[in-house]
Amino acid sequence: MKWQQKIRDFHQLLFPHHHSYTLFDKTSSYQHLSVKYQPQINFLGMFSNNKFMAGYNTKTKLPWNSPFFLTDFYLKKPKEILFLGGGPCCAPTTLWERDKSRPISIDIVEQDPLVIKLATKFFDLPQDPSVSIHHTKAEQFLEENKKKYDVIFFDLGFAYERRNDIKFSFCSQNSTLEQLKNSLTPQGIIIYVVISHRQGNQKKFLNQLYKKFNKIFKNCELYSDAPQNNKKNQSHIFILSQKNKLVSQFPPTPSQLNDHWLNLYRELQDKKTSLSTLTL
C-alpha cells in the first residue's frame, strides 16, 4: 500500500472534518516550498511561496485542473513532449503512467532540484529513461534546444502582474515565441498558460499577447477557467500551432473512457473560450 493511501485512511478515521496537513515545509535556494494534503477532498498539492503550483487527486490519480490533457483534443499519441515548468510534475507523471507501454519521451525543465525531489517523493514522478529532467532556466533551455516536440507545455506561472518582472518578461518576447515555434514538429502544438482577468489593462495585455501569437503562429485557440466571467483572475490557455488547420475533437468515445477521465475531458471542453472575448 502506498504512503498516500495509508495517510488518507488513517486521517479519515481520526479526523472527520476538513483539515490540511503539511507534509513538507522548507526553503530551497530558489523559493519556499510546501506540500499539503487534505484527505477529505483527496487533495495533494505543492505550494511555492504559499501560492498553489499544482497537485493531484489522490483517489483518481489525475491532476487538479491541469490543461495539459487538452493535448488529447488535438493530437493522437504524441511521442515527444516538453514541459517548461515542472512543479510537482503531476501531468507528466499521469501521462507516463497512462502511455508508458508505447514509445514516448518526456523532457521536464525545472530549475529547482528540490522541486523534483519532492515530485519524486510525494507525487510519484517516475525515474525512468523515458523521463529526462533538465535543471536549468526555461529561457536558457529554449536558446540551446535543437530537438523537435509534438507538444510543448508552457506553464511557468506567467501572469499580468509579472509581465515586467525580469524572471518572467522573456515569456512574451518575440524571440521566445520564435524559439517555441522552431521547437515544434510540423503537426505539433504549444499549450501556453498565462494568468489574468479580462478587464481594463489586463484585457489589453491579453489582447497584445494574442496579436503576437497571430503574427508568429498560423493558428490559435483559447480556453479559460471561467469563460463567462471576465472579472475572475484565471488561467488562460492558448493552443498554438503551425498546422494549416487546427481542429479539436473530443477524445476517445465515452465507452472507451473510465468516469474519471471522461469527467476530466468534459471539464476541459467546458473551458473553450471565444477569442472575441479578447477584442478591445
The pLDDT tens digits of the residues spanning 133-191 come to: 999 999 999 999 999 999 999 999 999 999 999 999 999 999 999 999 999 999 999 99
Would 86 be classed as within a structural domain? Answer: yes
Residue 8: pLDDT above 70?
no
Calpha distance 227→156 (Å, rounded): 22
Let me know if 253 is exposed, middle or buried by CB neighbors in 10 A (0-12, 13-18, 19+). Answer: exposed
Query: Does 228 reside within a domain?
Result: yes
Which domain CATH number covers 183? 3.40.50.150
User: What Rg do the C-alpha atoms of the chain give, in angstroms?
Assistant: 19
CA gap 81, 131 in Å, rounded = 10
Residue 115 covered by a domain: yes
Q: Residue 109 pLDDT > 70, yes or no?
A: yes
pLDDT band at 18 (very low <50, low <70, confident <90, very high): low
Q: Does some domain include residue 20?
A: no
The answer to whether residue 92 sits within a structural domain is yes
- In the chain, the number of structural domains is 1
How far is Cα 240 from Cα 217, in angstroms, rounded to an integer?
6
* 49 occurs within a structural domain: no
pTM of the full structure: 0.91
CA dist 74 and 251 (Å) reads: 9
Average pLDDT of the segment spanning 229-233: 95
The H or E element spanning position 187 is: strand 184-196
